[in-house]
Structure 1
Amino acid sequence: MIAAFIAVLLTSIAALAQETEVIDIGSRRELFVDDALLEQIGGGAQLRLHAPTRREIAIKYDQPWEGNASGYATVFQDGDVFRMYYRGHRYLVKEDSFGQAQSEVVCYAESEDGIHWVKPELGLFEWDGSRDNNIIWRGGPETHNFAPFKDTNPDCPEDEKYKAIGGTVTSNGLLTFKSADGIHWSELSEEPVVTRGAFDSHNTCFWDPAQDRYVMYMRYFSEGQFKGLRSIGVSYSNDFADWTEPVGLDYPGSPPQQMYTNQIAPYARAPHILMGFPTRYVARDLNEHGKTIDPVPLRDLLTKSHRRIGTDLTDGVFMTSRDGQSFHRWDEAFLRPGPQEEGHWIYGDNYQSYGLWETAAEHPLAPPELSMHFTEYAWLDDDHQARRYTIRLDGFVSLNAPYSGGEVTTRPIKFSGDRLSINYSTSAAGHVFLEIQDASGEPIAGYALTDCLEHYGDSVDQTIAWKSGADVSSLAGQPVRLRFVLKDADLYSFHFVEDDRNGDE
């Protein structure tokens, strides 16, 4: 009896502690990509996934060493230049066969603005008797998915400033590579550093300064080697040489689905949040309706050549994590295949590149956008390409409210800073209000809802103001709750920052 009473008491104490736990967000930017900070959502408010906007063709895989199976691109900004690495490859698709037409190579392109790309003639490797090409690596299985990154580890040797991983089951796992300039590469590991996994996908890696270690995400099967669902695994290393045994990721609340690529990396504007953009693999039985969806001739040929390539489909999804292991995965597509007439309802299309990078908006006075690439027209020799898409800064998910209104209240938080900036968009009739409450949920004098100015417009950096002004420095360091009240509006992110006189970010 006493033991039972103690157990109930301890459970109550633990629940109370959890309810009153204060989350210290400092001055970091918080996005509404999950409900980690949310305690109550009311009215018509909801978290809404947004889709990227289609832009121009970024690059065509039109060189003899490239072709209809090129892809697995990695893109990142490196100082004043944007770098792109991708596989060059081509398949022969015939009614009675489906196979490689040529060896795989690793190609390089660069850009000054992240929009317009050139393929420099590097003179490093021969192709058909000439070195006039943009090939940076020719080797073994690692060319299938060679994935570079810039190592931000402060202890990284100069000749390893750029690293890469690559390999398949043919190489018995993932090998590592190094470069001092991102162009000239050499082997780093003599043997595979990770051997458990499937690997024949776009595996990714980065340095995590918060945990002082490298993180690798790779293709992984839920029930062992090539058994169960196509999925994603994670492995860690302190030195890029010795890696932990990979474990599969968790997707609480999301039904089983098959993931090909992962494209997981810290989000640069809020690096405590990991974002992933996997390619979702959807196996389908091809019915009479499916046979009528373009590209009809290609689908018919692929179905005869290699059935699942002609019947199955791929699209893009979005997921986030705050611990790198458990991911909030949106089941709705981040990128749909689009209008049937355009011919992207095919296995191999809609693969997203690895990396997000800021680019200028079309309007010269508009804030920058985030860019990404998606593949189009897979298996077509003359048409295979990557297209640029954009999304607003932090614009992946919003706290959305309809015209009838909605609101959200956060869990208790602590912050540092002098003012609160929001990234938001409203209609002409819409608005955003903010009330700052104490930890118990009572409005703080001067920061109540009735004190807040009505905010309407569209800005990625809008300072919230009350009748007394915008200064919130007197509340810094103490537990507070934020109550956002919206009408016909989207709220993408918020963060507390130092006063403009001291500089923003």
Structure 2
Amino acid sequence: MKFLTVRSLVVLWVLVAVAARAAAPQLVAPDRTKQLVLDPRVIQSVTHAKLTLGTIEKDPHNPLFRADQPWENALNNLYPNVLWDADAQRFKLWYKCVLTDKNVIAQMADPVTIHEQGWFLLYATSRDGIAWEKPAVGQFGFGGSRANNAVARDTPNVGVFRDPHDPDATRRFKMVYDVGLGKPRTRTSPDGVTWSEPQEPRGFAGYHGDTHNNAFWDERSGKYVWFTKAFLGERLVARFESTDFVNWKTSGVVLRSTVAEGRTHQTYCLPVFPYANGYLGFVMMYHVGTDRAVDCELAWSPDTVTWTRVAPGTAFIPRGPKGSYDSACIYAPSGPAIAQDGKLLIFYGGDFFPHQGWKRHCLPALARVRVDGFAGYEPSTPGGEATLITQPLLVTGPLQVSADVRGSLNVSVLEEPGFTGTLVGGDVTDGEIKWPGRDTATLRGKMVRLKFTLRDAKLYAFRGLEMVPAPVASTGVRQFTEPLDLSLSFPGATNGVVLRHTTDGSEPTASSPVVRGPLRLAQTTRVRARAFLPGVTGGGPEFDAVFTRREPRHATWPTPVTQTFTFDQPGTEWRGADKLEQRATGGVAGGYLTVSRGGGLRPFAYLPHNATNGLAGDWPVKFGGSGAHLSFHTRATEAGGGFQVELFARDLAPWTYARLPRFTTAWQRVTVPVRWDWNDAEAEAAGWVRGLAAFSWRDTITHLGRVVVAAGASGGASFDLDEFSVTAFAD
């Protein structure tokens, strides 16, 4: 018999005492009345303030457990899925295990490999989040025994979530994973331990998967949402949605690296969870072009579709010092937010080895951050004063704030002079603001703007006000040459909502004209509009945009900047797929190019982004003016096929223009329009199509790299190209 030492008893007593004092964990539910200040919809203006990430505290017990079982061959990336089960009073963890050594794979009952590896989904539980048990669930054989904690097998890249929405209790838990690119799978379970046979969901493409798949039922949209990877020569984040967990619709790429990061730093995965009045995500940035490390950054979204990295290039959960358990890679968890004793618990995976190869361990660890403390505003300079003014918000209850206050935090209601409250010293979560001599009940049902003044304080969130959406326009176009019919609508519940607008630049009020149909814009006009809700004093946030009437003609520019490729001299830098030939005669005025390709694939000619005398650069700076015309001559041996022009941001992703005449057998001149000041909607209205992984139009045009002329789907096996030029114009 083994006996505990005195030291062990003391340690045990301390742990028990700490556990006894700790409050019970709880899942943090979404809250439409809580507004994070990192949400750009909330803040109207900022003066002398900066948004900084919250402070992460790592638990001294990290790593929480080791890979100490014979089947735990490689806890590769870990991909932790964590849930607090209030009924069982347990933390539950589902984590990834790769069986990579052949002698270990051979110990699996009926060995099956995917990517030549064996796969277990392992399960652990804990009462306090520190000491973990690996229960012998007895489901899958290994080494002649079922005494292990594997709850599923042959399941790479798993996300697990509890689904309170499904009326069928046997499907309470759900699993999403993939067995390779384009091969997603799902399973269901009554308890997260015993799982159904795999099902094949529909709607995914051959480039989706191979990452930490994660999904959840989104109460706000009334749909399941699933996040996975889109691999299109680089790692991108893709989103899907479904109402039945079987048929899925893609939203395309919803997050990617910046143009400057290119393929050097890639978005590896994005575990997502609802929080406050929006959604947060832990985006794992894979530094594949440098040290192959992985950093965990923070991302935010209003709707799970449009994502913004809160502090690009800065880790939210920082890696540890060199040689420590989490010095190389951080993999954040999938699952809802969990709070305990004023802290959010983030169970992540930490690795001291770079993201490469199968045989590596990523061990579970715990980080904490104060509730609501993902990011907050504070004065830009120490000892300085910062001011934040919110958008108009609907008061629904007492104002509460989450802030760290060393000096003071003052808040006033701009629409109600004399409504001023102050916090002095202390860190508060949902701390109620007191208004001396004023009754906060008089604010309920009013739209108000708050002014926060910070002195040696950091504001993370406030509560007791709801966001009313601004009106939205029927188009993103802001420039037009012909009269434009503009429709305005309210994106929320419309019962009794009245939209009022002005077209003279004045602020919309309760007496401004009601929007009753499309507005006909025939000249440059500033349109402002607000929603007015029944029984509510004041209007919501504004729609405010200038629509510019632009003459269709361009003024004559005496000395336009032009760059031309005649192909008359040998040694062109243009390239082609599969074959490019430069011919000395027979072109429009001398030499020309012939590009051809076999196998039914479309041929294309391109000028590389790194060509010595190429077109790469910031085109508005390079060429000046207002835009440019891309002109060239083409012909083909067979008439009738289509062709297109593609402009890439560097060599990363293109915009495509295909509103071109069909190929002819004689030389024909083609001109394609480009404007520097187009937004995405305006570029699309002009005929350009944004690629699946493309950057914005303006990011592309200011980081122009590769230029392509390509045959379309029916463009034939070869075509000729001559006299390619870019000529700037000015309005």
Q: Give yes or no for TM over 0.5.
A: yes
Distance 2:404 2:369 in 1: 14
- Contact 2:325–2:350 under 8 Å retained in 1: no
Deviations 1:5-47 (A, max 9, x none): xxxxxxxxxxxxxxxxxxxx9961111223221111112x111
Distance 2:249 2:83 in 1: 27
1:173 to 173, 183, 206: 183
- The reply to whether residue 73 of structure 1 matches residue 80 of structure 2 is yes
Q: Which residue of 2 aligns with 1:235?
A: 240
- Deviation at residue 176 of structure 1 after TM alignment: 1.0
Q: Which residue of 1 aligns with 2:606?
A: none
1:125 to 140, 154, 158: 140
- The reply to whether residue 49 of structure 1 matches residue 48 of structure 2 is no
Deviations 1:187-231 (A, max 9, x none): 25256663443311101111111111111111113xx4xx2x311
Consecutive unaligned residues in structure 2, runs of 5 or more: 1-29, 103-113, 467-731
Deviations 1:70-118 (A, max 9, x none): 311100112222211011124469xxxxx98951111001122333321
Q: Which residue of 2 aligns with 1:322?
A: 302
- The reply to whether residue 455 of structure 1 matches residue 463 of structure 2 is no
Deviations 1:442-494 (A, max 9, x none): xx13304xxx334321111211112215x422111111100000011111111
Q: Which residue of 1 aligns with 2:127?
A: 112
Distance 1:157 1:255 in 2: 48
Letter in 2 for 1:435: S
Question: 4+ residue stretches of structure 1 with deviation over 6 A?
Answer: 251-254, 379-383
- Deviation at residue 381 of structure 1 after TM alignment: 7.4
Q: Which residue of 2 aligns with 1:19?
A: none
Distance 2:156 2:31 in 1: 42
- Contact 2:75–2:360 under 8 Å retained in 1: no
Could you say what secondary structure the match of 2:330 adopts? coil
Could you say what secondary structure the match of 1:355 adopts? coil
> Higher relative contact order by CA 8 Å / sep ≥ 6: 1 or 2?
1
Q: Which residue of 2 aligns with 1:432?
A: 409
Cα separation, partners in 2 of 1:477 and 1:359, compared to 1, 3 Å: closer
In the TM superposition, 1:372-411 aligns within 5 A as 372-378=347-353, 384-401=362-379, 402-411=382-391
Q: TM-score, normalised by structure 2?
A: 0.53
Distance 1:453 1:334 in 2: 30
Distance 1:495 1:47 in 2: 19
- Contact 2:34–2:465 under 8 Å retained in 1: no
Letter in 2 for 1:205: A
Letter in 2 for 1:132: A
Whose radius of gyration is greater, 1 or 2?
2
Distance 1:485 1:377 in 2: 43
Distance 2:324 2:257 in 1: 35
Cα separation, partners in 2 of 1:317 and 1:478, compared to 1, 3 Å: same
Cα separation, partners in 2 of 1:52 and 1:147, compared to 1, 3 Å: same
2:68 to 62, 79, 82: 62
Could you say what secondary structure the match of 1:334 adopts? coil
Letter in 1 for 2:348: H
2:196 to 177, 181, 186: 186
Letter in 2 for 1:211: S
- Deviation at residue 314 of structure 1 after TM alignment: 1.3
1:336 to 312, 318, 338: 318
Could you say what secondary structure the match of 1:474 adopts? helix
Deviations 1:338-396 (A, max 9, x none): 322437453xx2111223543545xxxxx343333232234897975221111110111
- Contact 1:27–1:496 under 8 Å retained in 2: no
Distance 1:431 1:446 in 2: 18
Q: Give aligned-pair identity as a percent.
A: 27
Distance 1:335 1:166 in 2: 25
Cα separation, partners in 2 of 1:437 and 1:191, compared to 1, 3 Å: closer
Letter in 2 for 1:405: E
2:35 to 27, 30, 33: 30
Q: Which residue of 1 aligns with 2:161?
A: 149
- Contact 1:453–1:467 under 8 Å retained in 2: no
Could you say what secondary structure the match of 2:118 adopts? coil
Could you say what secondary structure the match of 1:473 adopts? helix
Letter in 2 for 1:321: S
More helix by share: 1
Could you say what secondary structure the match of 1:64 adopts? coil
Distance 1:273 1:431 in 2: 28
- Aligned residue pair count: 411
Letter in 2 for 1:82: F
CA-atom RMSD in angstroms: 2.8
Q: Which residue of 2 aligns with 1:88?
A: 97
- Deviation at residue 336 of structure 1 after TM alignment: 2.9
- Contact 1:431–1:456 under 8 Å retained in 2: yes
Letter in 1 for 2:319: P
Once the two structures are overlaid, the 10-residue window that deviates more, 52-61 or 407-416, is: 52-61
Letter in 2 for 1:422: V
Once the two structures are overlaid, the 10-residue window that deviates more, 58-67 or 84-93, is: 84-93
Cα separation, partners in 2 of 1:203 and 1:33, compared to 1, 3 Å: same
Once the two structures are overlaid, the 10-residue window that deviates more, 244-253 or 59-68, is: 244-253
Distance 1:198 1:69 in 2: 23
Could you say what secondary structure the match of 1:104 adopts? strand
- Deviation at residue 421 of structure 1 after TM alignment: 0.9
- The reply to whether residue 273 of structure 1 matches residue 278 of structure 2 is yes
- Contact 1:446–1:468 under 8 Å retained in 2: no
- Contact 2:202–2:246 under 8 Å retained in 1: no
- Contact 2:274–2:336 under 8 Å retained in 1: no
- Deviation at residue 277 of structure 1 after TM alignment: 0.5
Consecutive unaligned residues in structure 1, runs of 5 or more: 1-24, 94-98, 286-310, 362-366, 439-443, 499-505
Distance 1:462 1:253 in 2: 38
Letter in 1 for 2:369: I
Q: TM-score, normalised by structure 1?
A: 0.75
Could you say what secondary structure the match of 1:312 adopts? coil
- Contact 1:424–1:490 under 8 Å retained in 2: yes
Distance 2:175 2:67 in 1: 22
Distance 2:334 2:362 in 1: 18
